[in-house]
């Protein structure tokens, strides 16, 4: 009987897929399955990146004999997602702030 534990991460952003793979490798985890699943048709699932990956969600199944590695990866993944969302919100807030031309004081010309 297998003593492996599993962690499935769903809908991974394409821009951080390499980061997830590296973190899994660094933490003694094996990538059991990586799939691209269509968001529009449940029957379309690829085990390789399709030519046009728009409209697909990336799912990954990780395994390890020690569940603490999987818990740590889940923690790192959640923290990374939260940090990305926080930074995106900061960018959106700063873009919403109107830029005023009166922010800097106007220097008057002095006559001596």
Domain membership of residue 112 (yes or no) is no
Domain membership of residue 53 (yes or no) is yes
Domain membership of residue 110 (yes or no) is no
Average pLDDT, the chain: 86
The whole-number pLDDT of residue 93 equals 74
**Domain of 86?**
5-93
Residues of the chain above pLDDT 70, percent: 81
Domain membership of residue 89 (yes or no) is yes
Q: CATH number of the domain that 28 lies in?
A: 3.30.70
Q: Which tens digits make up the pLDDT trace of 10-53? A: 999 999 999 999 999 999 999 999 999 999 998 999 998 888 87
**What confidence tier does 92 reach under pLDDT thresholds 50, 70, 90?**
confident
* Count of structural domains within the chain: 1
Report pTM: 0.76
The whole-number pLDDT of residue 53 equals 79
Burial 4-24 (b: 16+ CB within 10 A, else e): ebebebeebeeeeeeebbebb
Radius of gyration of the chain (CA): 23
């Amino acid at each position: 009987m297998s003593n492996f534990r599993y962690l499935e991460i769903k809908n991974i952003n394409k821009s951080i897929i390499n980061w997830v793979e590296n973190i899994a490798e660094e933490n003694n985890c094996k990538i059991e399955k990586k799939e691209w699943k269509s968001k529009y048709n449940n029957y379309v699932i690829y085990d390789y990146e399709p030519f046009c990956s728009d409209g697909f969600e990336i799912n990954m199944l990780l395994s390890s004999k020690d569940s603490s590695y999987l818990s740590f990866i889940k923690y790192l993944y959640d923290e990374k997602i939260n940090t990305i969302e926080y930074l995106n919100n900061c960018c959106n807030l700063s873009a919403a702030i109107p830029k005023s031309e009166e922010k800097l004081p106007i220097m008057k010309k002095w006559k001596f």
